[in-house]
Amino acid sequence: MKRRLALLKTNRQLTISLVLLIIILLVAVFAEQLAPFDPLSADMNKSLTAPNSLNKFGTDKLGRDLLSRIIFGTRASLGSTVIMVGIIFILGTFLGILAGFFGGWVDHVIMRLADMMISFPGLVLAIAIAGVLGPNLVNAVIAITAVSWTKYARLSRSLVLRINESLFMKAALVTGTSNRRLMSHYILPNIFPPMLITAMTDMGTLMLEIAALSFLGFGAQAPAPEWGLMLNEGRTYLTTAPWLMIYPGLAMVIVVVTFNLLGDSVSDLLDTQN
Amino acid sequence: MSIQRSSHRIIQIIIVLFGISFLTFLLVYLSPGDPAEIMLTECGNIPTPELLAQARKDLGLDQPFFVQYGSWLKGVVTGDMGMSYSFKVPVFQKLLSCLIPTVALAVSSLLLMIAVSFPLGVLSAVFHNKVLDYLIRGFSFIGISIPSFWIGLILLRIFGVNLGWVSVSGGTADGRSLILPAVTLAIAMSAKYTRQVRITVLEELNKDYVTGARMRGIPENKILLRHVLPNVLLPLVTILGLSFGSLLGGTAVVEIIYNWPGLGNMAVKAIACRDFPLIQGYVLMISLLYMTINCFVDLSYPLIDPRLKEHKS
């Protein structure tokens, strides 16, 4: 009874976070239909208007509607995060499989590189990379990828090492299965679930990291509606227009909470299943 | 740690520093933009081609990549990291002057974090699945989901604008203006660390020796203080050392918000001005700092757990 109750509870958390995620996705997809105004059209007559019935969240210094910008910002923030997590996931897993499967010098090169990256504060290197390559969202993604793949490489490598010892793997080896087939049909399906869960639990953190880079001016560039950048723009008007920093931040918190809830409940589910 | 392991560790640090410096140097070398032009344009006038050529020669930019890297490396070893383009002072001097505020900020927020998250994490583990546990977990969950720069802006709005307790413009590194940045950093980190303390203590509480101690009738708080806490200290100190790294990176964001005159603030300005010598110096300085701290963490293991000392001999 108690176990069933616990499972129900994790499922409830899972349901809530999934519903929230779907809503957020819908907002991102239907931004054009949902936003009351064009996020980029400036109207200097309405510069820094406080929230009212027309502009629900107020306007920024160029008179652009904040609500519309936040709605469109969902696209930028969500899009860049999902793409980034995807790249990190694929790159890290791929390198980890290579290291674990081949061993020897391949393993050495990849893992020493990972050691180097891990013995270094991530955001500092990301700032340096993004700063040197030039500030834009693509370079911010590259910068964070460069410091984040190591975690996935380490994890997938350790999983591969365990699979290497398994009987089915040895059987496949003695029957002369090709390396490529071993990796794609024997290793990948087995390490995929734990890797995917790691990626899901990391979504929130990585979203905050990319927003932090945008906030510092090394990510999305004006006039793009991106939450980190919007907070940076709103910073100047801390005294006169506090809504400029409240609402984009709130939007970010909601999305990150959703991701973290989802990640927590998915990894809980896996724990209880094991 | 034995002398052999220490020296091994130091060699490892040097290799990593070498790799990191090479990587940043390569990045800078490959990046678009001519440092000579940037440096001269900083002065406000458009440089003539002759002036540019002269500046390139002075900076050694006409040399091949490896010669440039070699001469920079030679300079670093002798304590000369070149001149900052934008501040017009030696990089080393600039780094040192910004180091103290950043270390002050990092250490005070770290202390604050320990003071908050250690008791909370232990309480959460002890009252596992009780109301207090849910409350603490709820707080730490929200804490890890809120961006530190948003917390910073909100605190600045409340205490700077609404209450007028601190100056909004910042720029000074005194004790009064240290409070808000330290609190901001501590909030984000405490949330993460509380979770880790909770998990570590919880794992330890489930071990057989704890059950054994309970069966022998040893009071619960004595088990906690005498048996569990000394055992969780080691993993927690390790995590603490690692979190110092994210702290050093995280300070950049908070330093910008509060205009705290530290390394992170300086680095962001240096990047905006494409002040390459300063960026290279910053990356090297931070990585050295981070690895030194983690080396000290490793060295402290035998002090925390005397068994590690005995094993060696």
Q: What is the CATH number of the domain that holds A206?
A: 1.10.3720.10
A252 touches B at CB < 8 Å: yes
For residue A246, tell me if it sits in a domain: yes
The rounded distance, in Å, linking the Cα atoms of A38 and A32 is 8
Name the minimum distance, in Å, from the CA of B267 to any CA of chain A. Answer: 8
Give, for all 274 residues of chain A, the pLDDT tens digit: 566 556 556 678 888 888 999 999 999 999 888 888 888 887 788 777 888 888 888 888 888 888 999 999 999 889 999 999 999 999 999 999 999 999 889 998 898 888 777 766 667 777 777 777 778 888 889 888 988 899 999 999 999 999 988 899 989 989 988 989 998 888 999 898 889 888 988 899 899 988 988 888 888 888 888 999 999 888 888 888 888 889 999 999 999 999 999 988 888 777 766 5
For residue A73, tell me if it sits in a domain: yes
At residue B224, what is the residue type?
Answer: L
Residue of B271, B289, B291 to mutate, interface with A, max A Cβ within 10 Å: B271
When computed from its CA atoms, the radius of gyration of chain B, rounded to whole angstroms, is 24
Number of domains in chain A: 1
Q: For B150, which of A204, A249, A257 is closest by C-beta distance?
A: A249
What confidence tens digit (pLDDT) does each residue in B167-208 have?
777 777 777 788 899 999 999 889 989 999 999 999 899 899
For residue A146, tell me if it sits in a domain: yes
B14 touches A at CB < 8 Å: no
Residue of A2, A127, A205 to mutate, interface with B, max B Cβ within 10 Å: A127
For residue A17, tell me if it sits in a domain: no
For residue A43, tell me if it sits in a domain: no
Record: contact B150-A242, CB cut-off 8 A: no
Phi, psi values for residue B86, rounded to 5°: -85, -35
Record: contact A123-B147, CB cut-off 8 A: no
User: Which residues in chain A have Cβ-Cβ distances shorter than 8 Å to B144?
Assistant: 204-205, 260
For residue A5, tell me if it sits in a domain: no
Q: For A123, which of B142, B146, B249 is closest by C-beta distance?
A: B249
For residue A229, tell me if it sits in a domain: yes
The rounded distance, in Å, linking the Cα atoms of B125 and B33 is 54
For residue A19, tell me if it sits in a domain: no
CA torsion through residues B56, B60, B62, B66, sign: negative
Which residues contact residue B249 at a Cβ distance below 8 angstroms, ignoring those fewer than 6 apart?
A121, A122, A123, A124, A126, A127, B264, B286
Q: Residues A233, A42: contact at Cβ < 8 Å?
A: no
Greatest alpha-carbon span in chain B? 87
Classify B13 as helix, strand or coil. Answer: helix
Q: For residue A84, what are the domain limits?
A: 67-273
A116 touches B at CB < 8 Å: yes
What confidence tens digit (pLDDT) does each residue in B38-80 have?
767 765 667 778 878 887 777 777 788 888 888 888 888 887 8
Indicate the pTM of the whole model. Answer: 0.84
The rounded distance, in Å, linking the Cα atoms of B213 and B122 is 18
Name the minimum distance, in Å, from the CA of A65 to any CA of chain B. Answer: 20
